[in-house]
Structure 1
Amino acid sequence: MSSNPQRRDSTRDRIVEAAADLLRDHGPTAVTTRRVAQEAGLQPPALYRFFQGKDDLLDAVVEHVFAEHVAGKQATAPSQDPVEDLRDGWNTQIGFGLAHPHVYGLLLDPSRARDTPAMSTGVRILAERVHRVAAAGRLRVSEERAVNLIRAAGTGTIHTLLTLPPDQSDPHLADAAFDAVARVVFTDEPAVPTRDPAAIVAAFRTLLPELPGLSPAELTLLDEWLQR
């Protein structure tokens, strides 16, 4: 096999694509060294030049598929309504989980849990959208809690929808779950002090980096007070 880096990358991509197709169509058990090599037009030993074993290959496949999903979310331009942008992101995430159950199952496998680049980017995109909600004065909890609540609810919703028997499928469950989280996390309108002090605090925290005349230590202390 050529040592040319470009050709090597092309061969690795071909292996990952072949494994991704097998994972999508047949599940993790179908992703064997022999089967992947056959689909990629290689001899089985060639795979070990790129991956230590099946687990390493599956990790690469999950990262590849999820990275494509995250790239699509990054390309989405924000609208004038940050809450609706969050709802759109929620629907996109739910749709990804339902369309890629085997990939999503591996993403959530505790034995595989790790901070991959694609997952980190996905969380960052969510945090940025929550930050826009806070800046608009429509967040009634801290940004950190909002991100964690949305992630937890989304994970639970996808898992439930994937495990429900076909005759018990609920096409409105994802919308209802988002609405339930929204009632806890968001205000109906930009907050004013007499209506929702917590939203004012959340909005004020978004301005901390822009406050003049305070040292980094003072800003950190002020942020700690606001979180309390």
Structure 2
Amino acid sequence: MQVSPVTPARLVDEVVELVDARPGRVRVALDGPPPTRPLDLAERVADALRTRGRMAVVVSAGDFLRPASVRLEFGREDPDEFLDGWLDTGGLRREVLAPAGPGGSGRVLPRLWDAVADRAHRDRYVELPADGVVLLAGALLLGRGLPLDLAVHLRMTPAALTRTLPDDEHWTLPAYARYAEERDPEEQAALVVLSDHPERPALRH
């Protein structure tokens, strides 16, 4: 395995280059636990794409969680349910990934569910042009059969994740361990970013 340190700005360029190498609409997952800041990376990639004249829509997986009555059926701190049952994959497919795919309408809904208020977002649909890009950012996204064109995995070692996750989120650690072992996100990603220190990323080749 080769490792190449990069600046955060260069990391953005690397993702943009992967997107630009694909024609038509592109659906990208930026996958990593919260301390790796996948949403921040998605926003910076979107800004870079827009400067090149390419429309990009950032979608947070946190806005596509299932209702609390379903998500928390087995309690608020069930790591298995956190891994397998929190994300509304059906909603993501229906409202974002299918419309943004080949032959899709291009009409995507950036936010579906407000998990804090536990009600639907009153968001407007966005018309994605023929070369538009969806940047889906969040954790535990890969290995679910979601229709994606590219994936970037922000990898954090268990020790770093334990150190950087807030104490009240340590109950999720078994879910991340299962994810790494069972879903093998590194094998599904076009780009693996070593993110123990997000301000000093490195690419794994």
Higher strand share: 2
Higher relative contact order (CA 8 A, sep 6+): 2
TM normalised by structure 1 equals 0.26
Larger Rg: 1 or 2? Answer: 1
